[in-house]
Amino acid sequence: MPVSVVTDSTCDMSREMAARYGVVQVPLFVIWGSERFRDGIDITMEEFHRRLMNSKENPVSEPPPVDDFAAAFQKEIAAGNEVICPTIGSKLSKTFESACAAARNFPGKVEVVDTETFSGGLALHAMLASELAKSGVPLPEIAARLRSKLATQRGNMVLPDVTFLGRSGRLNKAVVSLAQMMRLSPILQLNHGVAESATQTNDFEKSRRQLIGIALRSLADTSKIRFMIGTVDAPELALEFEKEIREKLIGGCESLTVYTCGPTVAVNSGPRACAVFSMPVG
């Protein structure tokens, strides 16, 4: 039976990229006071940034309701497909719980995978799932292949300001307090879905350069690795990252995609955050 890919909007796939891979994105919500915006639908990154610069209220993110996932699953199943659903890590969002609750309405038809990552890392899972599905790989095997990547995927990011992530509760309070007090720019790494401090400097540009070294450290054969490079409202930094990483990849890489993080990710990371995600394709 054919398999469709349904994920959530924190994967930050552009509409063009999602269409190319045949990926359905269920939107999270950006909450701004009494207003609710569907991520990537009701609010663009440009509008989000404009409001952020002029608003006294702090936005928050909210996972999709169960019914939104159920509707997406129902549409694919009604078309004669099974569904693989990789989601943002369960330690980062309750989105995984919503997807699992919806999947229980379709026993044997939907597999939900906690990817333990987000943004470009989640996009890498969605891309792999799509390729496997198009190759005729059955649903249980696709789910198993995605889960096998949890031990080898990587996610590293640098934040010019930890205030946003600290406010969300997704970063250790001691790390937040120290960074704010000392005006540090931390480099974070995802460890099974938990954001941890890898190192930090008192200069964002220095941290940004160190991020590249950390992201590429101990990658023996990069020719079989896919990279996703994302920034929040800072496309010029993404292009610098791309150039510097390509210069350091002696053996090249499977692919390297530059993208812009969406509003939901921006709510929790803040402006000018940068990230490098990678996953081996073999």
How is residue 9 annotated by DSSP? G
Portions of the chain given CATH number 3.40.50.10170: 3-28+63-148
What are the backbone dihedrals phi and psi of residue 155, each rounded to the nearest 5 degrees, phi first? Answer: -145, 120
pLDDT of residue 184: 59
Q: What is the pLDDT of residues 215-265, one digit of tens each?
A: 888 887 889 999 999 998 888 888 888 898 899 887 789 999 999 999 998
Please tell me the distance from the alpha carbon of residue 230 to that of residue 232, in angstroms, as a whole number.
Answer: 7
Distance CA(214)–CA(154), nearest Å, equals 10
Report pLDDT for 271. Answer: 80
Domain 154-280, CATH? 3.30.1180.10
Kind and range of the H or E element at 191? strand 185-191
Crossing angle of the two packed helices 235-248 and 204-216, in degrees rounded to 10 = 40
Q: What is the pLDDT of residues 125-158, one digit of tens each?
A: 999 999 999 999 999 999 999 999 999 999 998 8
- b/e sequence 218-236, b meaning 16+ C-beta within 10 Å: ebeebeebbbbbbbbbbee
Task: Compute the Cα dihedral for 140, 74, 107, 90 and give only its sign.
Answer: positive
Q: Which residue has the higher pLDDT, 56 or 98?
A: 98
The C-alpha angle with vertex 65 and arms to 64 and 70, in degrees rounded to 5, equals 100
Distances (CA, A) of 174 to 166, 195, 200, 228, 268: 10, 13, 14, 29, 17
pLDDT band for position 178 (50/70/90)?
very low
Q: How far from chain centre, in Å, is Cα 49? A: 19
Residues of the chain with CATH 3.30.1180.10: 154-280
> Residue 67's pLDDT is what?
98
**pLDDT digit string, tens, across residues 8-26:** 999 999 999 999 999 999 9
* CATH 3.40.50.10170 fits domain 3-28+63-148: yes
